[in-house]
Chain A
Amino acid sequence: MKIAYKLLIPLVMIFILGFGLLYAIWIHSERAMIDAFEEKSSRVILDQLMQDRQRRLEIERGYLEFVASMAAKVAVEFVSNMNYEGIEQPISELLALDGVKAVQVFDATTDQTFVAAYREGGRSLVGTELPQGLADYQQFRHRLTGHFDARDVDYGYIAIYYDDAPLLGEIDAMERVSLGRIEQIKTDVQHMLAQRISFQLLIFAAAALLLAGGVFLLVYRFVLVPLRALHLGLDGFFAFLQRQEDRIEPIALGGGDEFGDMARSLNKNIEVSAELLQSINALNATLEQKVEARTCQLRLANEKLELSLEGGRLGSFDWDIPRDRYSIDAGWAGMLGCDLGEMGPGLAAWKSLIHPEDLASVNERFGRYLAGEVPHYESQYRVRTKDGGHLWILARGKIVARDPDGRPVRVAGTHMDITHIKETEQRLLDATQRAERALAELQSTQAQLIHSEKMAALGHLIAGVAHEINTPLGAVKSSGTNIAHSLEQALGNLPGLFGLLTQEEVSLFLDLLARARAQTGILPSREARRLTRGLTEELEGEGVTGARRIADILVQLGVRDSPASYLPLIRHPRSDFILDTAYSIAAIATNAANINHAVERAAKIITALKSFSRLDAGGKRSETDLRQNIETVLTLYHNQIKQSTELVCRYAEVPPLSCYPDELCQVWTNLVHNALQAMDSRGTLRIVLEAEKGVAVVTVADTGGGIAPEIRERIFEPFFTTKRAGEGSGLGLDIVRKIVAKHGGHLEMDSEVGVGTTFKVYLPYPEPR
């Protein structure tokens, strides 16, 4: 990311400088505008001030001319009448006016000053002489015109000397104030401008920084990050190339820009390179392996050769035919443990060492070679060693010389000790035989296992069957005792009873007994309780005490309504005795019926068990009612099914099937057992029997967890089980399949995880002959 820092500083500089420049230009133009505005407005104000000054001065002049004309009108009277004292008063008033410095009235008739007045040190001096220095003041002169004999007469003039300095001073002061205010406004504007500039500078600097940051981020995201990814990817690739890495990750960079394109093409390169490298490595490895293997082989071969030769496992023989001299090399002879001198010189001597069983084949092979029937001589046989043992040798020989007629005269060759090979062969043979024996044993074990699977299924049943059998047994046992007791009580009570009862009561008693006898079956407990409640209320209405118990007995005796008819018995002083006796007599019958019922139930279970245990019989085919066959199994599972399983059976009328009924029982047992286990006995077990196109179809469906797809293929394999160890051997479905196959039928399985499993067994009816 060094480039990031390199980029960031210039970017910030450029943006700050650029913004600074822009701002300087802008602020300059703004200032020029403000200056121009200022100048223009100053000029306008100054013009205005000048005009004001002129107007003021004109107004003042006009006013003074008016005063002079008015004064002239007044003065003309005084002058015409020569009234010197009278004029003093109006002249003094004139002098009192602001700025009036002196007043002169000139009498033209006398050509003398009539009166002159002026101010000096705040006093008014009136005389006929005007002081010097009035020429600096403005003079407002008006002719004194009077009328005499209907004509105008000029009496002279009046002059007012006016000093405009105070007025000018006043105007100047006012202008100074105005100008001062303008200056104040200008300074304020300058101040405001200065403040604005510092604020704007701040904003501009921030904007410059933000923009620089933004541009930098864009560059960072779209240029620097991809660059870095490419850099890392390339680094990784180089590391991979230099074998510092085991595997290589592709460059993690997508996107549709040029960097993305670059990354993709680089990745492609990397991929190809990696593959190449891998195949090169693999080749190297293979090559190394091959070299190693070859080296090893060579070493082994070499060692073997050395061993053979050194150990004397290889020897040579030479047979001179015309002279019948058969010789072997000394080392070989030592190995065999025979003395060369001891051994006779001829071939016969060698042959005497050959194992009698092998001799015939050696002779035959050798003879055929000498006769030219086979191109090589080669033979394996045993030779006797001196210590009485035998060595296996491989003999190879060749005719090395022939006489001019082409008859062989010399045969030479090698003998190789192949005892160890022979031993290995023998061991192999033994092993094979042992394996065959083991296989046979395994097969018989499997047969045993199949049998024990059957026993296991029986075991599962027995736990449930215990309950099934113990329930009727308990009922039988108790009912038996009950009968004995009831009989005893009835027999004891009866003689006394008839002595107690009137003729009418006796017939009521007998009527009660008849009702009890007429009862068929046992009332459900709820129904019995409802009846008892009804009778109790009626009896209580009749004022009978202990009504509930009496009602209970009556209901047991078969009385359903109107207990009032038995009131004579109920109200009898010995009613307890009477009713107990009646109940005892009835109890004998009900308990006997109970026994019959229980025994029937037990018998049914025993029958089912019996047919189940005959599975092994090998049996014969017999025409079998499939429905009955299935129900036998369901009877055995009655106890497990009734807990929380809903059993839905649908049996079509199907013709009897020629089959092995006991084996089919085992099929149903396995399927029902699996179904119940799959549902944990909670759900719906559906059994359907139907026939279609000469095939009987039995469906066993559960609403269990289903079979996972990955093991569906395997469930029929022997020994495959999903049950816990000890619960099943995994042979159940294998047996089912075998039995179904024995009937020429087949099995279909449909399963959905979380919905359930359905097995369909197809059993064909044999073709009519």
Chain B
Amino acid sequence: MMEQGILLCVDDEMMVLSALRDQLRRVYDHRHLIEIAESAEEGLEILDELAGEGYIPLVIISDWLMPGMKGDEFLIEAHRRFPHVIKIMLSGQADEEAVLRARAQANLHEFIVKPWCAEVLIASIDAGLDAFWRREGA
């Protein structure tokens, strides 16, 4: 039970987080913990806290345009702390340079534009998780 993974959603809009949480819960509940954060800073806090409790950060879905730390910076920092985690950017608008930066420095798994399609998001997460488990040899 302690080997549970974490799926973390970061967005400054609660409406997006709320929708995402229900969407992910439908697929991954009982298997993984689904956490939401309203800012990049809060996201990093959650990752550190839960990793300390023995959870494995698996997936991060982050908006780009947020007050304070931007999505690309956040994903780069998250990558530094948890290099294996699958990073997805979900944004209505993102600076092209920022996406390139995230790809280069945070090993960005996918960039998905809002409004997004649940199936696409889930498929992307699954693909990432498959690769992850293969890599882990589990």
Complex Cα spacing A768 to B67, Å:
47
Q: A482 to B67, Cβ gap below 8 A?
A: no
Which one of B19-27, B72-80, B126-134 is at the interface? B19-27
Complex Cα spacing A473 to B92, Å:
9
Q: B30 to A525, Cβ gap below 8 A?
A: no
- Which B residues are CB-close (under 8 A) to A639? 65
Q: B13 to A475, Cβ gap below 8 A?
A: yes
Which one of A334-342, A502-510, A544-552 is at the interface? A544-552
Q: A594 to B15, Cβ gap below 8 A?
A: yes
Q: B22 to A486, Cβ gap below 8 A?
A: yes
Any A CB within 8 A of the CB of B91:
yes
Q: How far is the CB of B89 from chain A (nearest CB, A)?
A: 13
Interface residue ranges of A521-566 to B (CB < 8 Å): 522, 524-526, 529, 545-546, 548-549, 552
Point out the residue from A467, A469, A486, A643 that lies within 8 Å of B91, measured CB to CB: A467
Q: B67 to A642, Cβ gap below 8 A?
A: yes
- Which A residues are CB-close (under 8 A) to B65? 467, 639, 643
Any B CB within 8 A of the CB of A598:
yes
Q: B19 to A464, Cβ gap below 8 A?
A: no
Q: B19 to A478, Cβ gap below 8 A?
A: yes
Any A CB within 8 A of the CB of B48:
no
Q: Return the chain B residue nearest A478 by Cβ.
A: B19
- Tell me the count of chain B residues lying within 8 A, CB to CB, of chain A: 37
Interface residue ranges of B104-119 to A (CB < 8 Å): 113-118
In the complex with contacts A477-B115, A482-B22, A643-B67, A471-B33 CB distance below 8 A: no
Point out the residue from B18, B33, B92 that lies within 8 Å of A470, measured CB to CB: B92
Any A CB within 8 A of the CB of B98:
no
Any A CB within 8 A of the CB of B47:
no
Q: Return the chain A residue nearest B43 by Cβ.
A: A525
Binary CB contact string for chain A from 618 to 649 against chain B (1 if under 8 A, 0 otherwise): 00000000000000000000010011100000
Q: B13 to A471, Cβ gap below 8 A?
A: yes
Q: A476 to B115, Cβ gap below 8 A?
A: yes
The A contact surface, by secondary structure, is helix
Complex Cα spacing A548 to B38, Å:
20
- Which B residues are CB-close (under 8 A) to A472? 15
In the complex with contacts A471-B13, A549-B33, A591-B22 CB distance below 8 A: yes
Q: B92 to A471, Cβ gap below 8 A?
A: yes
Q: A470 to B114, Cβ gap below 8 A?
A: yes
Q: A471 to B114, Cβ gap below 8 A?
A: yes
Any A CB within 8 A of the CB of B1:
yes
The B contact surface, by secondary structure, is mixed
Q: Return the chain B residue nearest A596 by Cβ.
A: B15
Q: A474 to B92, Cβ gap below 8 A?
A: yes
- Which B residues are CB-close (under 8 A) to A576? 30
Point out the residue from B12, B14, B114, B115 that lies within 8 Å of A522, measured CB to CB: B14
Any B CB within 8 A of the CB of A27:
no
In the complex with contacts A475-B19, A482-B23, A486-B22, A548-B92 CB distance below 8 A: no
Interface residue ranges of B51-99 to A (CB < 8 Å): 65-68, 90-93
Q: A478 to B23, Cβ gap below 8 A?
A: yes
Q: Return the chain B residue nearest A473 by Cβ.
A: B115
- Which A residues are CB-close (under 8 A) to B14? 522, 524-525
Point out the residue from A469, A471, A594 that lies within 8 Å of B18, measured CB to CB: A594
Complex Cα spacing A289 to B17, Å:
84
- Of A464, A524, A549, A598, chain B has the most CB atoms within 10 Å of the CB of A549
- Which A residues are CB-close (under 8 A) to B30? 549, 576
Point out the residue from B13, B46, B93 that lies within 8 Å of A464, measured CB to CB: B93
In the complex with contacts A525-B38, A526-B38, A576-B30, A475-B1 CB distance below 8 A: no
Q: A471 to B23, Cβ gap below 8 A?
A: no
- Which B residues are CB-close (under 8 A) to A192? none
- Which A residues are CB-close (under 8 A) to B26? 482, 485
Point out the residue from B1, B18, B36, B68 that lies within 8 Å of A591, measured CB to CB: B18
Q: B92 to A467, Cβ gap below 8 A?
A: yes
- Which B residues are CB-close (under 8 A) to A470? 92-93, 113-115
Complex Cα spacing A475 to B12, Å:
12
- Which B residues are CB-close (under 8 A) to A476? 115
Q: A475 to B16, Cβ gap below 8 A?
A: yes
Q: B114 to A473, Cβ gap below 8 A?
A: yes
Any A CB within 8 A of the CB of B37:
yes
In the complex with contacts A467-B92, A471-B92, A485-B26, A598-B116 CB distance below 8 A: no
Q: Could you show 11 A-B contacts with beta carbons less than 8 Å apart?
A: A468-B92, A470-B92, A470-B115, A475-B16, A476-B115, A477-B116, A477-B117, A545-B1, A594-B15, A601-B15, A644-B67
Given contacts A463-B93, A476-B115, A478-B16, 6 further A-B contacts (CB under 8 A): A469-B92, A471-B13, A479-B15, A482-B19, A526-B38, A597-B15
